Amino acid sequence: MAVRRYHLTFPKELVTEPVIYYLGKDFNVITNIRRANVDQDGGWVDLEIEGDEEEIERAVESLKRKGVGVDPIERQVIE
């Protein structure tokens, strides 16, 4: 199992959508929110995703298709 960390940026129109919930439901991955700041105008989330590499890649592509900005976090932000 791989663990990848991403900084997600949500536009205003996606703030009220359960986007992260559906990652775990639609893909065989485990999500863990490490940090977040969300308000009615948009927001960001530092998200840890655990699973097989292929499932993580599929989940990330799904986020991008929905309009979520996805940037990998290369270093350990939070242990």
> pLDDT 10s per residue in the chain (79 long)?
999 999 999 999 999 999 999 999 999 999 999 999 999 999 999 999 999 999 999 999 999 999 999 999 976 545 5
CATH number at residue 19: 3.30.70.260
Determine, yes or no, domain membership for 43: yes
State the pTM of this model: 0.89
Determine, yes or no, domain membership for 78: no
What pLDDT, on the 0 to 100 scale, is given for residue 59? 98
Determine, yes or no, domain membership for 77: no
What domain count does the chain have?
1
Determine, yes or no, domain membership for 79: no
What pLDDT, on the 0 to 100 scale, is given for residue 21? 96
What pLDDT, on the 0 to 100 scale, is given for residue 43? 95
The dihedral through the CA atoms of 40, 10, 19, 7 has a sign that is: negative
Q: Which residue range forms the structural domain that includes residue 37?
A: 2-72
Strands 29-39 and 69-72: unpaired
Determine, yes or no, domain membership for 37: yes
